[in-house]
Every structure is written in C-alpha cells, then in structure tokens.
Amino acid sequence: MVPAKSASAAADERSLGNACRVGARSASAGAPARGPDLIEQLISSRFVFAAVAFALVCAMAATVSFARAPAWQVRDKTWAGWAVRDFLTGDERPQVVFLGSSLVLVPVATVDANFLGRRLDGSQHHRSYYFEHGIERRTGSSIRSFILALPGQMPSDAYLITDYLLDGKKTPPVLVYGVGPRDFMDNLLPSPASTDLFRCLSRFGDISGMLDRVMPDWVDRFNYRLGRCVYLYGMKEELSCRAGQALCRLLDRLLPVPPGVTPYTVAHRREILPGYQMGGLEAGEAFFRPHGKDELTFADNIAEYRKRYSTVRWDTFTTQMRFFAELLDVARQRGIHVVVVSMPITEINRSLIAGYAWDAYRNSIHVLATVKGASFLDLDGSGAFKQSDFMDTVHLHSGGGKKMLDMLADRLAADSALRPARPGKRQPEM
Amino acid sequence: MLFNSLQYLVFLPTVFLLFWIIPQRLRVPLLLVSSYVFYMSWRPIYGLLILGLTLGNFFLVPFIARSTKHKKLWVGIVVALNLITLGVFKYANFAAGTVTDCFNFFGLTVRQPHLHIILPLGISFFVFEFIHYAVEVYRGKPVVTSLPAFALFASFFPTQIAGPIKRYQDFIPQLGYPGKFKWEYLDQGMQLILMGLFKKVIIADNLALVAQAGFSHPESFSAVDLWLITYAFAFQIFFDFAGYTDIARGSAMLFGYKVPINFNLPYLAANVADFWHRWHISLSTWLRDYLFIPLGGSRGTRSQTYRNLFITMALGGLWHGAAMHFLVWGAYQGILLIAHREYGRALEAAGVAERLLKSKIYHALSVVFTFHLVCIGWVFFRADTIAAANQMVLKMLTAPAELLHFSLRQLAVLQIRDPLIFPALLLILPVLMISQPIVNWLNGKRFYQSPPWAVQVGVMVALMCLLTVFSPDTSPRFIYFQF
C-alpha cells in the first residue's frame, strides 16, 4: 500500500516560488521555430508524417473506392434496412406505396395477419394483402402495394424515401401518406437526422443541401462533413460491417456454437443487453399476430405522449412541415398522386396537445395537401373511429385498421388518379 | 465534453494552436479559460463550484502558512470545508438512504428524503488536490502566490475530471518554464492520445458489453462464464481508466506539461500491496500521504497499523462511489493487505521467505493468485448491490466443480453470436493476459523504449485507421467519471 515516494517530495521549492508568479513572466519566449527550421522539423515530426501518411491512405482508398458498395447492400438490420432492401431488390413496380409512422404500419400489418390467418415477420412483410384484395373487389383490377411506413417515421424521412427511392422504375402511381400530430411535434426527437431511418436513407443521396435543417447541432454537421472529407470515416459503417462479417466467419470456424446447443435468440439477448442495438430488427424478431376480438386490450401510453407533446417546438414543427411540403412537390414532379391521410387518434391523445398546436397541425396539412394537388382523406375528422378501434391512444388495432383500409380503398377505387395503377392481373399470394 | 467526442477533437487542437501562437504570459490565462469552458460545457452552474473552492482554498491556505499557534486549526478548517463540500455533493443521498434504512430496520417507517443533488464531475479529484495543497503547506511547503496558476492547477482540463491526482509542487513549476514549442511534445502527446483512444474505444467499450450483460443477469451464465465475464471487466476497467489517463497525459504533453502516471502493469502484481503500487498510483500515493500516514501509518503497534490500513482502504473504497458495495470493496482490499502482511510474517518466521520470493514458479503463481483475488474484488466494485455481488461470487466459487465435467456446451458466451465480443472473449482474453508479461519484458528492451522512426509512424497510422473505422457514434462515459 505504500508506494515509493513520489517525485513531488523532491520538487524544487525555489522554482515553485518563482513559478507561482508565472503571470508576471515576460512574454514571447515561446515563439515556434520559423522558416526553413520549421519545415525541417515539421518533416521530421513522427506525428506529422503519420498524419500525412493517413491522409494518403484515405486518398488511395477513395481513388479505388475501397469497400464501396451500393447503399442497399449495406447490411442494415433495422426496420428501414429490411424494407428498403426489399423495395429496391423486388422486380415489380408497386402501384401503391404506403408512407407514415407506426400509426400506418401497425394497423395495415395487423389487418393482414388476421386476413391471412398467420403471424407475419415484421422484417419481411411489406405488402398490404387486405388492401390489394379490397381494391380488386371494388374495381376488378389487381394492384401491388408496398409498405414503406416504418416505426418512428417523420416527414423528413418520408421526404428522403420519396426523393431517393420512388424514382425511375420504382415510381408508383399512387402514394398513400398517413400523418399524425406526433410526426410534426415530437419533443423526444433531437433532430431529423437522428432517426435510424434517416441514417439509412441518407446513404442513398446527398443531403448536403439540407444540413442546416436536419442537423441543427454543429457537432452533427461536423461529423457529417468529416465523413465527406475523410474517406475511411465516411465509409466506417460499411467497413465495420464487413469487418464484423469477417470476424463472424472466423469465429464460426474457430469457436462454433457447440453441437446440440441453440444460439441465443434475439429476444433472449434483449433481456441481458436491453440497450444494445435498440433500433435494430433481426429476421424472426418481431411479428404481427392474428387475434380475435376477445384478445384485444387497450394499452396506456399517455405518459409517453405527454413527454412527446410537453412543449410545442415550433422549429421542429416548421422543419417537418417544410419536408412535408417538399415531399408533395417531389411527388407531383414525378407524376405520383399523393393521398394524404389524416390518421385518427383518440380523444385522450388529442387532449394532450395544446389547442393552438392542434389547429396549426390540422390546418397546415389540409392546406398544403390542397395547394400541392394531393387528395386529402380526413379519417380523424370523419367521426368513424371510436376508442374501441384503438389498441392504445394512437394506434388502431386490426379492427380499426380494417375500417381504415376499407375507407381508403373506397376512396381510391373512386379516384381517377389510381386508374393507371390497375394492370388487371392478380398478383400471386405470398 | 468527453475525450472521445467530436467536441474534443475540435477543442483540443484549437487550444493547442492558440497556446503556442500567443505570448507566453497569456498561456496560463488561456488554459484557465479553456479549462472552465471544458468543465462548464457539461453543466455551466458547476463552474461556480470549482471556482468557489479554488478561491476558498487560495485565500484560506496562506493562513496555515502564516499562523504559528493555530496551524492545526487552520488546516482543520480548510480540510473540513473541502470534505463538507465533497460530502454534500457526493454522499448526502447515500447518508440519507443509510439513515432511512437504519430507521426502517428498527421498525420505524421513514420515507427517504429525495435530495436533488447531481454529482459534479471530477469533484473527488479536485477536492483531493485541494486537500493535498493545504496539508503540504501545513507541512511547511510554500504557498502558491499566483491565483491563475493555482486556479489552473485545480481546473487543468486534461486532468480535471478523472485525474491523475496532481501534486502542486510538480505541476505549478512547469507553468513557468520558458515555453518554446518542441515537436516532441506533439509526437509524444499524440502517441499517448491515440493509444489511449484505442484502449478506450476499441478494447474497453467492447468488453463493456460483456460486463453489462454478465453483471446485470448473472443467472443467465454458468460459473465458468462468470469468471470470463469478471476477467473481461478487469480488463475493461483497466483499459478504460488507463486509456483515459493516456489521453490526459497526452493532452497535457501537447502543452509541454507532464502529469503523473497512474498505472504500471497492475495485473502483474505478485501480491495485493504490489497491486496498489501499480494501480491508480496517484490515488494510492494520496491515500498513503494524506490518510494512512496522518492516521499513524506503520508507526504504532501491529494492530494499530492494521487498523490504519483497513480504514484507509475502506475510505478509499467509499471515495469511488457513495454505495455500500464500494465500501465493501475497499474493506476487502484492506483485509487483503492485512492478510498479505500476516502471510509475509509467517513466511519469515518459517525462514522460507527469501527462498520462495526468489523462485520464478512461486512468483508466477503469486501473480495468478493475486489477479484472481483482485478479480473477486472487482465483482463487488461492479455489481449494483452487495446482494448481487454475493450471489455472483458464490456462483463463481462453484467453478472448480463445474470444470470437473466441463464441456463447451456450458459456455453461454459461445451461444451469444451478436455482439461478437461474447464468443471472441475466448480469443481476446488470453491475448490480453499474455500481453501483460510481454509488455513487461519489452519495457526492458531498448528498441521498445525508443522504437525506430518507421515503426512509430506505422503504429500511429494503424491506430488512426482503426479509430476512424471502429469508433462508435456514441461511446459510454469513462468509468472513473462517476467518481
């Protein structure tokens, strides 16, 4: 316990006394070397040489596009990663694409689970069979849908999807975009760029032009710029992913899972490491299950939404509303007909939002949809949904979802904009 | 502002460049302002705390030097003021909880008052530096006459949050050195910073996942798994803190200042006393000089010495955190130190001490045994509660029986394939363990002390590439930040 006496014991007290008056010392003694000396020393510095060598490594890697792969090939095991990969690798062009947050995804997928009578893997299920069936029943034409509605999706994410993905061969004739007040006034969201979805989608295009809006914090912008300047830093996701795959192969060879033993499931891993890859989604991890009326329960998520709405952040509201407007612009330029659906929420949830914020939200989406030439389907104001249609204060359950998809199919079946989307042949079942 | 954050990547080069550009008389003020910016970037209000303590100590300690009759009283007042501040901010909640528990134990139902006190970062470190200053002046050392220099001693940003705990006699004279920039400052400083980041980001942060899972859910793991997890934590805390210290020393070196080392291959210690010579050296020397020696040190009877050792280590444990499991960890270290002394006496009495200590096999076995004793201590250190630590240690003690019919099927770490650090433990831990004696052996070699220029450059480039690719978007705080 008694270490050797530290050097402090031998400190020169006189020099200490002098040093204590350090503020009075004369200036300018510390000017660095100048001219040729400086250059000579600069070259002989190991760190400077290493920094130059590192810059050269990055430049060479950039020149040969080391490890660069198409954005969709990056193994991004998130809700967005699975959906985007499926969307881009699928052969067929969908006639209707769904956008929105879990307010859209949950009812659409749970209706399908009931409709098909089996549980559906969240990472794989990206079609609305019930909706396709409904359109066919109403019009006699079959269509193909694709669900790009994803948990936590904000209008900024929806804009990136529209701009980067719904283009060329993948341009759908119709885009159904379900919005809710949370999409425009979520206090828990630090910035538009902080969602998993945005991180995934930003690989598909250049977001430099919108940095101020999506990354209000200078650290985030600096991080982004650093990634653009330093090739290896910009490619770190791809490189670390590849390194992980290589390590995985090595470990499978050297230290395989012992025979007769089942590897940990994602659910088990989540129990012991709840904070690890929170936004991640593995195949077979999350299912939409069929259920009868008796099994429906109402979950109280008021506390969560109270936090989300606690104070209205107008910067978030205006930023997201601007993305919403730009989404409608991009869609119109590409000939995509947008149906803006005002998603129903419960009275309990609405009461948590300040009156002026609610009015601003309602008026803005209605006016923008109208001005930008989109259809507006006001399910929230329709009076058709009661609290018994919901599984919590905002998400419709399968019963409510069925009602919603029926109303949507009625509207689209009568909508002339959908006509070019009806090729006439029925799509094969999943 | 964390050392491994992008803010620091901007902050440090900015201060570095300004420091060497401006006239020397402005350098201490620059570092002082930078240090306060660094501290207040977390919670601006706590800048007042460190400022208040600095002013209090600066103006009160000279009374200790000047007084002839009441030196003890003055030093008592200064030390008490520092300790009260530490107590209020760090131990008030713990004390309230302990008192409430006592009442409840005797059947008196009392609700614990909730004190909204947030522990200021680094308070344990700068309070210890103030106490060291007051006691040294009491012992006859000179007072610091420059307020900026004294303020910088306490707030110097590289060592502000988690040490090393500096000695003012070592640090303050450096502020007055004629400051001419030398490229070796940049080279040595950046080498240390890169190495520190590697230890923290690549090694400690990955091992942290294993420790987090194992210590929060010991029931999911076998006894052998728990030993592996404890080894992982032993290396996590070492690389986390050693990494922090390297970055702190490297950052200070960029300005031409030297701060003390904190580690010297602690897991090669052959006994617990040796371990404390090698682990968190700046704290153990502080405890020796300002707690163990004032308590009487080894000057009294054997039982008094043991009492002093026990109190020193128990309080040292409590310094790490206001929780019972830290106190138990400290007490455990005290008991180990006492047992080590008794063992040494027994060997000497038997006349075998000299022969055994010369034996290489005995030395190797001692290192392994000490490492395992330290690891058991880490369980109490890391666990959330004493009950959880007890449960884990009891399970770990069944490992020998488990090993009798051992098969790889028992290892849960092989069944968790994501994150990969779990199965990789079986490769990484032996490498980390073997690296310790290898580094020890290399330390004696000239080519390791001053490697060829190309090797140094190559290592730095490799570290830059690794850190660039594998640095996570968010990294956990350094473990010692909470103390």
Q: Out of B132, B280, B320, B340, pick the active-site residue.
A: B320
Within the 208-237 window of chain A, which residues sit less than 8 Å (CB to CB) from chain B? 219, 222-223, 226, 230, 232-233, 235-236
A12 pLDDT band, cuts 50/70/90, is very low
A7 pLDDT band, cuts 50/70/90, is very low
Residues A135 and A411: their CA atoms lie apart, in Å, by 10
Query: Is pLDDT larger for residue A410 or for residue B114?
Result: A410
Measured between alpha carbons, how far is residue B408 from residues A174, A261, B393, B424 in Å?
56, 10, 21, 14
A370 pLDDT band, cuts 50/70/90, is very high
Q: A26 touching B, CB under 8 A?
A: yes
CB contact under 8 A, B414 and A261: yes
Q: Are strands A375-378 and A174-179 parallel, antiparallel or unpaired?
A: unpaired
Distance of CA B137 to the CA centre of its chain: 26
CB contact under 8 A, A20 and B6: no
Task: Compute the average pLDDT of residues A172-197.
Answer: 92
Task: Map out the domains of chain B as residue ranges.
Answer: 6-180, 185-482
Q: Which amino acid appears at position A263 of this protein? A: P
Q: What percent of chain B is modeled with pLDDT above 70?
A: 98
Q: What is the pLDDT of residue B291?
A: 96
Query: Is pLDDT larger for residue B377 or for residue A416?
Result: B377
Q: A2 touching B, CB under 8 A?
A: yes
pLDDT above 50 (res A26): no
Residues of A in contact with B145 (CB under 8 A): 17, 20-21
Query: Is pLDDT larger for residue B417 or for residue B134?
Result: B134
Q: A371 touching B, CB under 8 A?
A: no
Task: Compute the average pLDDT of residues A391-417.
Answer: 90
CB contact under 8 A, B148 and A251: no
Task: Compute the average pLDDT of residues A117-131.
Answer: 94
Within the 277-336 window of chain B, which residues sit less than 8 Å (CB to CB) from chain A? 277, 281, 284-285, 287-288, 292, 298, 309, 312-313
Q: Which of B313, B408, B420 sits opposite A244 (nearest CB)?
A: B420
Within the 98-137 window of chain B, which residues sit less than 8 Å (CB to CB) from chain A? none
Which pair of structure tokens corresponds to residue B424? Answer: 């990789």
Contact of B481 with B10, CB cutoff 8 Å: no
Which pair of structure tokens corresponds to residue B451? Answer: 């490697």
User: What's the gap in Å between the CA of B424 and the closest CA on chain A?
Assistant: 7
Q: What is the pLDDT of residue B227?
A: 97
Within the 49-108 window of chain A, which residues sit less than 8 Å (CB to CB) from chain B? 49-51, 53-54, 57
Name the residue in chain B with its Cα closest to that of A277.
B419
CB contact under 8 A, A27 and B25: yes
Q: What percent of chain B is modeled with pLDDT above 90?
A: 77
Task: Compute the average pLDDT of residues A143-156.
Answer: 95
Query: Is pLDDT larger for residue B339 or for residue A428?
Result: B339
Q: What is the pLDDT of residue B188?
A: 94
Instruction: For B37-48, give one letter per residue: b (16+ CB within 10 A) or e.
Output: ebbbebeeebbe
Task: Compute the average pLDDT of residues B445-452.
Answer: 87
The DSSP annotation for A382-393 comes to GS---GGGBSSS
- Contacts for B211-214: CB closer than 8 Å, 24+ residues apart: B211/B236, B211/B382, B212/A273, B212/A275, B213/A272, B213/A273, B213/B416, B213/B422
pLDDT single digits (tens) A44-97? 789 999 999 999 999 999 998 887 777 766 667 889 889 999 999 988 899 999
Q: What percent of chain A is modeled with pLDDT above 70?
A: 87
CATH number belonging to domain A71-421:
3.40.50.1110
Within the 270-289 window of chain A, which residues sit less than 8 Å (CB to CB) from chain B? 271-273, 275-276, 282
Task: Pick the range with the lowest mean pLDDT from A176-180, A218-222, A279-283, B341-345.
Answer: A279-283
Q: What is the pLDDT of residue A2?
A: 41
Measure CA of the first residue to CA of the last residue in chain B; give whole Å.
Answer: 16
Task: Compute the average pLDDT of residues A220-227.
Answer: 92
Q: A267 touching B, CB under 8 A?
A: no
Question: Scanning the structure block, which residue is given the tokens 């006393």?
Answer: B273
Residues of A in contact with B226 (CB under 8 A): none
Query: Is pLDDT larger for residue B244 or for residue A41?
Result: B244
B62 pLDDT band, cuts 50/70/90, is very high
B96 pLDDT band, cuts 50/70/90, is confident
pLDDT single digits (tens) A292-340? 777 778 888 888 899 898 888 899 999 999 999 999 999 999 999 999 9
Task: Map out the domains of chain A as residue ranges.
Answer: 71-421
pLDDT single digits (tens) A84-112? 999 999 888 999 999 999 999 999 999 99
pLDDT single digits (tens) B362-419? 999 999 999 999 999 999 999 999 999 999 999 999 999 999 888 888 899 999 988 8
pLDDT above 90 (res B436): yes
CB contact under 8 A, B6 and A219: yes
Q: Which of B172, B187, B457 sits opposite A19 (nearest CB)?
A: B172
Measured between alpha carbons, how far is residue B1 from residues B121, B477, B478 in Å?
11, 10, 11
Per the prediction, chain A carries an average pLDDT of 85
Residues of A in contact with B284 (CB under 8 A): 1, 3
Q: Are strands A96-99 and A375-378 parallel, antiparallel or unpaired?
A: unpaired
Measured between alpha carbons, how far is residue B170 from residues B27, B159, B174, B248 in Å?
18, 14, 7, 16
Identify the CA nearest to A399 among candidates A385, A411, A378, A413: A385
A389 pLDDT band, cuts 50/70/90, is very high
Name the residue in chain B with its Cα closest to that of A262.
B415
Residues B344 and A67: their CA atoms lie apart, in Å, by 59
Q: A34 touching B, CB under 8 A?
A: no
pLDDT above 60 (res A251): yes
Name the residue in chain B with its Cα closest to that of A52.
B461
Phi (first) and psi of residue A95, to 5 degrees: -90, -30
Q: A254 touching B, CB under 8 A?
A: yes
pLDDT above 90 (res B307): yes
pLDDT single digits (tens) B69-78? 899 999 999 9
CB contact under 8 A, A30 and B27: yes
Residues of B in contact with A6 (CB under 8 A): 167, 170, 260, 285
Task: Provide the 3-class DSSP secondary structure of residue A296.
Answer: coil
pLDDT above 90 (res A396): yes
pLDDT above 70 (res A425): no
Name the residue in chain B with its Cα closest to that of A54.
B461
Task: Compute the average pLDDT of residues B45-68.
Answer: 95
Residue A74 Ramachandran class (φ > 0 left, ψ -120 to 50 alpha, else beta): beta
Name the residue in chain A with its Cα closest to that of B212.
A273
Q: What is the pLDDT of residue B405?
A: 87
Q: Which of B144, B213, B460 sits opposite A50 (nearest CB)?
A: B460
Q: Which of A50, A261, A276 sits opposite B209 (nearest CB)?
A: A276
Task: Compute the average pLDDT of residues A116-141.
Answer: 93
Task: Compute the average pLDDT of residues B210-218.
Answer: 94
Residue B132 known to be catalytic = no
Q: Which of A13, A27, A235 sits opposite B142 (nearest CB)?
A: A13
B475 pLDDT band, cuts 50/70/90, is low
A200 pLDDT band, cuts 50/70/90, is confident
Task: Compute the average pLDDT of residues A131-158.
Answer: 93
Per the prediction, chain B carries an average pLDDT of 92
Q: What is the pLDDT of residue A10?
A: 39
